[in-house]
Amino acid sequence: MQDSDIPLTEGMTMTFSIGIVGAGQFGSQFAHLFNLHPGVDAVYVVDERPERAADAVARYNLAGQEADFDALLASDVDAVAIFTQRWTHGPLVEQALRAGKHVYSAVPMAVSEDEIARIIDAVRDTGNVYMMGETSYYNPATVYAREQHAAGKFGRIFYSEGDYVHDMDLGFYDAYQYSGGERWKETASYPPMLYPTHAIGGVLGAIPSHAVSVSCIGVRDQRNDGVFDKDISMFSNDFSNATALFELNDGGAMRTNEMRRVGYPSHIRESRFRFFGTEASFEQARQGYRLAGQAKRPGHLGADGDPPQHSPGRPVAGQRRPGGSATPLSRASPLSMMPNGCPRSSWVPPMDTKAATTSWWTISLQP
């Protein structure tokens, strides 16, 4: 029985302790959030650079730091959360599970089939919980599509799309320089399709299916600045953009894009999703504030009986204005933050960050 299966009586509160592995820009923010969570009674942290761990402890009033990863696993923390470089997750997750800890990790889960299989085996052998922290499962568009699909509104979803559009110039250069040091270009060439979970997670988070085959095309980079250069890359990778077509086990198809060189306002909408069904289809207009969809029959797709629709007030980037030209697609495109006549049924308010810090989710792999 997992802890989450134990019934709680009135006034009873279950808490646990957690160790954060990696106190960089990303991991330290999660340490802060875990420390605010009412279900967490103590947060410890470890980093290869002890000064970063010490800074996080002082800044966020954490319980303490450990000398290294082995020391953390030897401690009495109940769980660990791994925020190390993305290609290092698999072996660390397995080691922590077999050390008797529940494990949360940033994405991706691992970077090879063997590493993934070893994690699944470790969960089955130990009974401990592993969770991969893919946020697209909670993307408003995915939540909406999941609810509509469960209600049978789509009919059969036969085709879906999920994109992760994040240009390197929008924060990635700085992030890789921070984490990679003097040799940061070796790691900044991380293959896009080894980081597909934001795109795929938003689709498979709505459709209860999985991929059984895939065909992928990569686009070789041409900037020539030492990033995505085979002679420099520790991954021997020169693809900066990639597109994949997946066959799903239910007979449907899923297409995904991973883009790192793209003139698109990805700081506004990095992840995009579309679902096409036999009875209704759904398109995400703008993440965070409204959704758009079409259906065969009026009122077939919409929480209040009205099908979601585009706002008549201001066009989406790329949408043609009546009697005019299309709004240009570029990083500088001004997008309205107001719903402008958007019907209530398709309005999705921005996430309440306070509420987000007090929500807890667990995923358990069953033998």
CATH at 11: 3.40.50.720
Query: Residue 344: which pLDDT band, with cuts at 50, 70 and 90?
Result: very low
User: Into how many domains does the chain fold?
Assistant: 2
Among 100, 133, 166, the domain boundary falls at 133
Does residue 258 lie within any of the structural domains? yes
User: What is the pairing mode between strands 79-82 and 157-165?
Assistant: unpaired
3-state secondary structure of 183: helix
On whether both 129 and 141 belong to a single domain, the answer is no
On whether both 156 and 103 belong to a single domain, the answer is no
Cross-strand pairs, 130: 103
On whether both 185 and 310 belong to a single domain, the answer is yes
What pLDDT is recorded for position 266? 61
Cβ–Cβ under 8 Å, residues 103 and 79? yes
On whether both 288 and 319 belong to a single domain, the answer is yes
Half-sphere exposure in the Cβ direction for 344 (13 Å, CA): 3
| % of the chain at pLDDT higher than 70 | 73
Separation CA 302–CA 147 (nearest Å): 10
Does residue 366 lie within any of the structural domains? no
What pLDDT is recorded for position 290? 41
The candidate with the shortest Cα–Cα distance to 365, out of 41, 43, 73, 109, is 109
List, for residues 159-180, the tens digit of each pLDDT value: 999 999 989 998 889 988 988 8
| End-to-end alpha carbon distance in the chain | 13
Give the domain extent around 102. Answer: 3-133
List, for residues 187-201, the tens digit of each pLDDT value: 999 999 999 999 999
On whether both 178 and 247 belong to a single domain, the answer is yes
List, for residues 217-250, the tens digit of each pLDDT value: 999 999 999 999 999 999 999 999 999 999 999 9
Does residue 18 lie within any of the structural domains? yes
Separation CA 141–CA 147 (nearest Å): 10
On whether both 147 and 121 belong to a single domain, the answer is no
Tell how far CA 177 is from the center of its chain: 22
Higher pLDDT pick, 237 / 364: 237
Higher pLDDT pick, 334 / 303: 303
On whether both 279 and 144 belong to a single domain, the answer is yes
For 71-82, the DSSP string reads HHHHS--SEEEE
pTM attached to this predicted model: 0.75
Cβ–Cβ under 8 Å, residues 256 and 199? yes
What pLDDT is recorded for position 297? 54
Does residue 362 lie within any of the structural domains? no
